[in-house]
Amino acid sequence: MTSVRSLSAITAALFLVSCFGCGSASNRLRSTVFIRTLRFDPSTLTVDAGTTVRWRNSDTAAHTVTSGNLDPAPDPTFKDVAILDSQFSPKELRLRVGDTVRWTNRDLATHQIVFASGQPIEFTSPPLQENEDTTLQILHAGVFEYQDPFTPGLTGRIIAEGVPDPDGQFDSGGISPGQEFEFTFNIPGTFTYFCKFHNVEEARIVAL
């Protein structure tokens, strides 16, 4: 009886030791950001200090995770989008961060520019009558979708590219499709990063 009891005590002690070991392993802080087509998902991730963040490339192209910012271009310009025959022309506009978009309504019908919600840029233009225009300076890198609520199916896109300004804290180099990169954020703070292959994707880790 005694030997059975002591045996079970030893078993319990061993169980506790092994459980402590696997407990500390599974409690190690981890979080994942997915690399998608020209965006990091989520674009803002809040973690506890000490967390290891893993970026997984879920796109079909290679990207990087490079600490720093995408800055405005030193020589910003105007970029024109015409609204003609109920189409945005061009439908997809590439520009540099700092450039200003000017939409001009060349239709008889009223049109309006409304950015999709949940993007870093919020914008709703006044309704535009024929030959009226509206402007917006783009101050963030990224892909921005917009639509005209007056015309179902009328959508446009802006792809804003910044000037890379790495700060040297981390740089994955090229991450191929399906591959991963990890970095541990031991110090509280806000850490911005971007992809230096495209200079469009910008995101941040907030470590508490």
Residue 8-47 contact track with Cu ion, rule CB under 5 A, x = bound? ----------------------------------------
Q: Which is nearer to Cu ion, 63 or 96 (CB)?
A: 63
Are β-strands 66-71 and 163-171 bridged in parallel, bridged antiparallel, or unpaired?
A: antiparallel
Q: Report the nearest approach of Cu ion to the CB of residue 35 (Å).
A: 7
The residue behind tokens 């087509």 is 37
Q: Which is nearer to Cu ion, 83 or 203 (CB)?
A: 203
Tokens for 177? 């499709």
Whole-angstrom distance, CA of residue 90 vs CA of residue 92: 5
**118 conformational bin, left if phi > 0, alpha if psi -120 to 50, beta if neither:** left
E-assigned strand segments in 48-107: 51-57, 66-71, 78-84, 87-89, 92-96, 100-105
**Residue pair 102/81 in contact by the 8 Å Cβ criterion:** yes
Residue 197 binds Cu ion (CB under 5 A): yes
Whole-angstrom distance, CA of residue 129 vs CA of residue 104: 9
Q: Which is nearer to Cu ion, 128 or 160 (CB)?
A: 160
Pick one of 33, 81, 101, 195: the residue that binds Cu ion (CB under 5 A). Answer: 195
Q: Which is nearer to Cu ion, 135 or 176 (CB)?
A: 176
Pick one of 63, 79, 96, 111: the residue that binds Cu ion (CB under 5 A). Answer: 63
Q: Which is nearer to Cu ion, 97 or 195 (CB)?
A: 195
Pick one of 79, 96, 111, 198: the residue that binds Cu ion (CB under 5 A). Answer: 198
Query: CB nearest Cu ion: which residue?
Result: 195
Q: How many CA atoms lie within 13 A of 122 on its CB side?
A: 2
Contact positions toward Cu ion, by CB under 5 A? 63, 195, 197-198
